Amino acid sequence: MQDYRKLTVWNRSHQLVLDLYKLVNLFPKEEQFGLISQIKRAVSSIPANIAEGCGRNSNKDFAQFLNIALGSLNEVTYFILLAKDLKYINIEDYSKLTDECNEIKAMLISLIKKIREKN
């Protein structure tokens, strides 16, 4: 289909992965196999599913993988809220990350609609 690295939504979600990987290193060590692991799994799933969808042969398949990425993004948004409520991240980081997630979400929804209109 297309080179996923040229998609703005992939680049933004990849940067979100890098930002969250760096941030979770500051979490308490007892979260290593709990919240840290969950965040890393969910956030890395977003650009990974965008990339996988780009490699599929149909727009229907691509849209399905974008929907999976959207689900993972919603999961990440919850984990960010949980991290704030547990006082693992401050309100500034929470706001910045939530804003970025909302922008990526809007981009994913827009791309899904665009792809579905092609069918």
pLDDT band at 2 (very low <50, low <70, confident <90, very high): confident
Side chain identity, residue 72: S
The pLDDT assigned to 58 comes to 92
Residue 50 has pLDDT above 70, yes or no: yes
Residue 114 has pLDDT above 70, yes or no: yes
**Helices 8-24 & 35-54, crossing angle to 10 degrees?**
160
Q: Which of 65, 83, 59 is nearest to 10 (CA)?
A: 65
Task: Average the pLDDT over 33-44 and give the result.
Answer: 98
The pLDDT assigned to 1 comes to 63
Task: Average the pLDDT over 71-100 and give the result.
Answer: 98
Percentage, residues of the chain above pLDDT 70: 98
Task: Average the pLDDT over 82-97 and give the result.
Answer: 98
Is-contact 68 91, C-beta < 8 A? no
Q: Is 34 exposed, middle or buried (0-12, 13-18, 19+ CB in 10 A)?
A: exposed
pLDDT band at 118 (very low <50, low <70, confident <90, very high): confident
Measure CA 118 to chain center. Answer: 24
Second-level CATH architecture of 4-118: Up-down Bundle (1.20)
pLDDT in tens, 9-32: 999 999 999 999 999 999 999 999
